[in-house]
A = this chain, B = another copy of it.
Amino acid sequence: MKALPNTTPAAGKRLSPRPSQGVEHGGDLTAVRARFPDAPEPWIDLSTGINPVPYPVPALPTEAWTRLPERAQEQALIAAAARRYGVTDPTTIVAAPGTQALIQTLPRLLSQSRVAILGPTYEEHEVCWRRQGHETTIVTDLDQTTDADVVVLVNPDNPTGRLVAVEDMPSPSKLLVVDEAFIDLLAPACSLAGNLPPNTIVLRSFGKTYGLAGVRLGFAIAEPETADRLRLEFGPWAVPGPALELGRLALDDDGWLNATAERLTADRQRLDDILVEAGFTILGGTPLFCLAEHPDASTFVERLGRHGIHIRRFRHQPRWLRFGLPGSDAAFERLRNSFSN
């Protein structure tokens, strides 16, 4: 198809900035490759908290691609999620095309509110509530949330790993949002999913633990009326057929998850040992990442970049670095060597 006459050619045009302009995210190797053009390939991406050893993607039935997703397929996914997350009433689970899509949607459920976010944490929460006209405050302690209509917390926190116990959860007047994106491999009793307090929405992510972030699949667990509201916001066929199929298979697979939990525990220890040896102080983390501190953090970003290793830094915490897990012995060795060479 040729370009129409009298119009600007596509070449040279750039897409407008990333939607969440100003929010830093890990996981984009294109940008970091441009910054370190001489770095060895392949890059090792430790800039996210995504499991580097993914659930193996099988050949999916053709119908998952070709047909509109059917209600029965969605129900099968929800049943697998209910079992995995210990949720007894499947009507309280909403499947969405990624947890980020839910984070974008939650602020639309309420009229203008005072929103306290326990932080610093995953920045999209604040950005999305503020964009919908809510008044947001970042608080560093739950004691500071007493005046808020809505409280948002990431549990365990990203990046600090701070875990608020179930019995210490606040009870704001309108809504408590608990983003449990990194809770999968902690003890089930850490999660609110199985015993949801009133006026609470729990978010669970599929892509991180299962190493399938490209699939875009997340869940909200909420009281049935709120769950219905969320389903209306997304409308029909919100989750693609391949995600319905793959999500169900993976969430039903106890063997894979148990083996993964064991491997990740060992790998997290191995990562910590390397970082301590390199002079870092371990501040916290989850089974999928480690938050470490070093007075010369920015120097390490440069050094690792030259070695083709991408890590996550934090604008407002220049001494902090977050390391995802290397996915192989070779990747662990490259990380170790990049500190000593």
- Show the binding face of A for B, using Cβ within 8 Å: 1-4, 7-10, 13-16, 18-20, 23, 25-31, 45, 48, 50, 54, 57, 62-72, 74-75, 78-79, 82-91, 97-98, 100-101, 103-104, 108, 124, 128, 131, 188, 194-195, 207, 211-216, 224, 227-228, 231-243, 246
Q: Which residues of B contact A31 (CB under 8 A)?
A: 71
| Contact assessment for B124 and A82 in the assembled complex, using a CB-CB cutoff below 8 Å | no
Which single member of B68, B72, B234 contacts A50 (CB below 8 Å)? B68
Query: Complex formed: what's the CA distance from A238 to B240 in Å?
Result: 12
**Most chain B CB inside 10 Å of its own CB: which residue of A19, A104, A211:** A19
* CB atoms of B66 and A4 under 8 A apart: no
Bound complex: CA A235 to CA B54 (Å): 24
The answer to whether B19 and A232 have CB atoms under 8 Å apart is yes
CB-based contact B235/A88 at 8 Å = no
- List 26 interface pairs A-B (beta carbons < 8 Å), by A numbering: A4-B88, A7-B88, A8-B88, A13-B90, A15-B90, A15-B91, A16-B91, A16-B224, A16-B227, A19-B236, A20-B235, A25-B236, A26-B68, A27-B68, A27-B70, A30-B71, A50-B67, A54-B62, A64-B214, A66-B213, A98-B240, A124-B236, A128-B235, A214-B241, A216-B241, A240-B243
Say yes or no: B9 contacts A88, CB within 8 Å.
yes
When distances are taken between beta carbons in the complex, the residues of chain B under 8 Å from A128 are 235
Query: In the assembly, what is the distance between CA of A48 and CA of B211, in Å?
Result: 34
- Assembly CA distance A42 to B337 (angstroms): 58
Please, how many angstroms separate the alpha-carbon atoms of A9 and B78 in the complex? 14
How many chain copies does the complex carry? 2
For A45, the chain B residues whose CB sits under 8 A away are: 67
Q: Is the CB of A67 within 8 A of B214?
A: yes
Tell me which residues across on chain B come within 8 A of A195, comparing CB atoms: 4, 7
* A65 adjacent to B69 (CB under 8 Å): no
What is the bound-complex CA distance between A88 and B7, given in angstroms?
7
Instruction: Given A19-B235, A27-B70, A91-B15, decide whether A240 and B224 contact each other with a Cβ distance below 8 A.
Output: no
Known: A10-B79, A91-B15. A214 touches B69 (CB 8 A): yes
B16 touches A228 (CB 8 A): yes
Q: Do A235 and B91 touch (CB < 8 A)? A: no
Do A213 and B67 touch (CB < 8 A)?
yes
19 additional A-B residue pairs with CB within 8 Å, beyond A2-B86, A4-B195, A19-B234: A1-B188, A3-B86, A7-B88, A8-B88, A13-B90, A15-B90, A19-B231, A19-B232, A27-B68, A45-B67, A48-B68, A64-B214, A67-B213, A69-B214, A214-B240, A214-B241, A214-B242, A216-B241, A240-B240
Q: Quick check: A54 and B48 within 8 Å, CB to CB?
A: no
A68 near B213 with CB under 8 A, answer: yes
Question: Are A97 and B100 touching (Cβ within 8 A)?
Answer: no
Within the assembled complex, what's the spacing in Å between the Cα atoms of A160 and B84?
46
